[in-house]
Amino acid sequence: MVTIPENGGPIAIKTHNEIYFRHGLIMWISWFFLGIVMISTTRWFVYLTTKSYYIHAITGILIVSLNSYAALDVISVNGIKK
C-alpha cells in the first residue's frame, strides 16, 4: 500500500513485512519476556512476597491481550484462510 501525501514530502509504503515484523515482536515480548516473568513469579519469587500471585495474574492477562491483538492484526490484513 502506497500513501502519497497531498502537500509533498516522502512517500509512505506500508508492506506486509512491517505487519509480520510487528506480529513477531509482540510474540517475542509476550512469550519470552513476559513468559520469564510468569515462571519467575510462581517458582522463585513466591517466597519473597505475597504479591507475586497478582503479578503472575496480570502478566497472564497481558500475554492473552498481546496475543489477541497480534492475531487480529494479521487477520485484518490477510483475512481468514480456509
Lowest mean pLDDT among 21-30, 39-48, 53-62: 39-48
Count the domains in the chain: 1
**Over 90: is that where the pLDDT of 8 sits?**
no
pLDDT of 21 > 70? The answer is: yes
- Label residue 32 by pLDDT band (50, 70, 90): very high
- Residue 45 CA to residue 38 CA, distance in Å, equals 10
- Rounded to whole angstroms, the Cα distance separating 14 from 63 reads 26
pLDDT of 65 higher than 60:
yes
pLDDT at 15 over 80: no
* The predicted structure's pLDDT at residue 57: 92
pTM more than 0.85: no
Classify residue 20 as exposed, middle or buried by CB count within 10 Å of its CB (0-12, 13-18, 19+).
middle
The residue segments making up the domain with residue 20 are 2-78
Lookup: cell for 74? 494479521
Q: What is the helix, strand, coil percentage profile of the chain, to 5?
A: 70, 5, 25
